[in-house]
Amino acid sequence: MTTEHCRVSQWSSWSGCSQQCHPAFRHRKRHIEKEPSNSGDACPPLEERAGCLEYLDRQGRNCALALVNISTSISLLSYCVEFKMVSLTSHCAADGQPHLRWTQYLREGYTVCVACQPPAMQEPDRSCQGDGATSGRDELLHWQAVDNPHCRGTWSRVRMLERCACPQVHHFVFI
């Protein structure tokens, strides 16, 4: 008898955010192509979820003002981490696209502030994946932009802030 390990398909594309103008989730799936047999390895997870936040409503209007109330209500649950930008790809240039203006604040040597808040917080320790809590001060951590997947780079953790007091222009969110 031959041992057959589980075989799964490639991941689907990420879904859109389940809600606009509110912290929400997106998901992706894959399916089982071959069930394990004869003590083969079990199948890995078939679904992944990630937090997301859409800044445009379904009509394409900017909903940043609606997000002010949300950020006020979740500020008690969140914390922020300051990172020093070490490197980034040339794909982070905004190229005049209004929804990518935020990329102008990504420059090597700049300090950026990233909020960890619901729904990206993981239970039970209420932390965000990638916040650098378990890394050394000079360890390089990798990041990637959600709305421009070719925009990515490295940064190093500077410090954690219990209360988020970040400048609005250098303020980002874990998802």
Q: pLDDT of 57-91, one tens digit each?
A: 777 777 765 554 444 444 546 788 888 999 999 88
Q: What is the CATH number of the domain that holds 50?
A: 2.20.100.10
Domain boundary among 28, 51, 73: 73
Give the count of alpha carbons within 13 A of 148, CB side only.
18
48 vs 13: which has the higher pLDDT: 13
| Total domain count, the chain | 2
Predicted confidence at residue 24, as pLDDT, reads 73
Domain boundary among 73, 89, 111: 73
State the pTM of this model.
0.56
Domain boundary among 73, 104, 123: 73
Most confident of 5-14, 59-68, 101-110, 136-145: 5-14
Domain range spanning residue 88?
75-173
Dig out the tokens for 43 from the structure: 């199948």
7 with 19, same domain: the answer is yes
